[in-house]
């Protein structure tokens, strides 16, 4: 199926590994030029080379700290300078540290806010003129199933990522007249470094092994396994495509049935 992404340009945040990288690869496979940004330039450059070799699409590595406003501005500017436009923005960032309420001081709350909510707001602000000019702009936020069903021991993620969802829902109304769609993807337990870290944290907190921690979470997933990052990337590609032009303001979970609510 032709997803209508040939000739489009995407900026994918936090794309050196995990979900961000999977989304960048998925978009490139459909013919989009992709700009990857994260803090580790060497890893990014290797990822960009991998994408070029596999897909034949253009891939650009841009070092950017998502907690730094000037570096976010530069990432958008370099993308447009290199590719001439910007059609798709994928907001993504590493998750805040686990822990219950008593474990986090003001500094931890500010860091989570800056990394997971303010970075998304800043990226949208910088990208917006180009997304409007595109005529088919797409904003896709990678959040967490925690925005629909809070996860024990992840109070920072539960609170801050919900803010991203609120921002996205509001933007979906504000930007619809410009042909821009705004959607969020809420991953459950996909097999990424972040999830392995959370499994390790649970193991340490409960005095169990990492395998036992993983098995505990798998037992709660109706599909009986962790997801693959590519399974989330497939949804992101669809939401970025022409096929999803009438879908906006949604939050769609990719979680193997973990979320038990109705909406």
Annotate 71-88 with b (16+ C-beta within 10 A) or e (fewer). Answer: bbebbbebbbeebeebbb
Q: What is the structure's pLDDT at 22? A: 98
The stretch 180-185 carries a mean pLDDT of: 98
Tens of pLDDT, residue by residue over 103-151, are 999 999 999 999 999 999 999 999 999 999 999 999 999 999 999 999 9
Tens of pLDDT, residue by residue over 250-261, are 999 999 999 999
Distance from the Cα of residue 226 to its chain's centroid: 18
| CATH fold of the domain at 9-190+228-254 | Rossmann fold (3.40.50)
> What residue spans define the domains of the chain?
9-190+228-254, 191-226
Instruction: Take residue 251 and report the two structure tokens written for it.
Output: 């939050």
Judge residue 42's burial from the number of C-beta atoms within 10 Å of its C-beta, 0-12 exposed, 13-18 middle, 19 or more buried. Answer: exposed
pLDDT at 202 over 90: no
Tell the residue number behind the tokens 């109070």, with chain if given: 155
pTM given for the model: 0.96
Please, what is the average pLDDT of the chain? 96
CA distances from 17 to 48, 63, 77, 93, 97 (A): 11, 14, 23, 11, 18
């Amino acid at each position: 199926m032709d997803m209508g992404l040939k000739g489009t340009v995407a900026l994918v945040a936090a794309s050196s590994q995990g979900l961000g990288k999977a989304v960048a690869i998925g978009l490139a496979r459909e013919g989009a030029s992709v700009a990857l940004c994260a803090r580790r330039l060497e890893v990014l450059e290797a990822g960009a080379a991998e994408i070029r070799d596999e897909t034949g699409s253009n891939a650009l590595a841009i070092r950017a700290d998502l907690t730094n406003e000037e570096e976010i501005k530069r990432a958008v500017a370099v993308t447009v300078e290199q590719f001439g436009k910007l059609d798709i923005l994928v907001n993504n960032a590493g998750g805040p540290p686990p822990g219950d309420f008593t474990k986090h001081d003001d500094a931890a709350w500010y860091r989570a806010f800056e990394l997971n909510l303010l970075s998304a707001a800043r990226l949208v602000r910088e990208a917006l003129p180009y997304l409007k000019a595109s005529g088919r702009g797409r904003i896709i936020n990678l959040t967490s199933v925690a925005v629909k069903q809070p996860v024990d021991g992840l109070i920072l993620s539960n609170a801050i990522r919900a803010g991203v969802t609120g921002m996205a829902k509001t933007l979906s109304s504000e930007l619809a007249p410009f042909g821009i769609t705004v959607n969020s993807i809420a991953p459950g337990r996909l097999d990424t470094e972040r999830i392995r870290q959370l499994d390790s944290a649970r193991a340490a907190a409960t005095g169990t092994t990492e395998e036992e921690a993983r098995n505990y979470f798998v037992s709660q997933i109706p599909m009986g396994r962790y997801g693959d990052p590519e399974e989330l990337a497939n949804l992101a590609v669809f939401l970025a495509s022409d096929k999803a032009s009438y879908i906006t303001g949604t939050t769609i979970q990719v979680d193997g049935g973990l979320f038990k609510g109705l909406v």
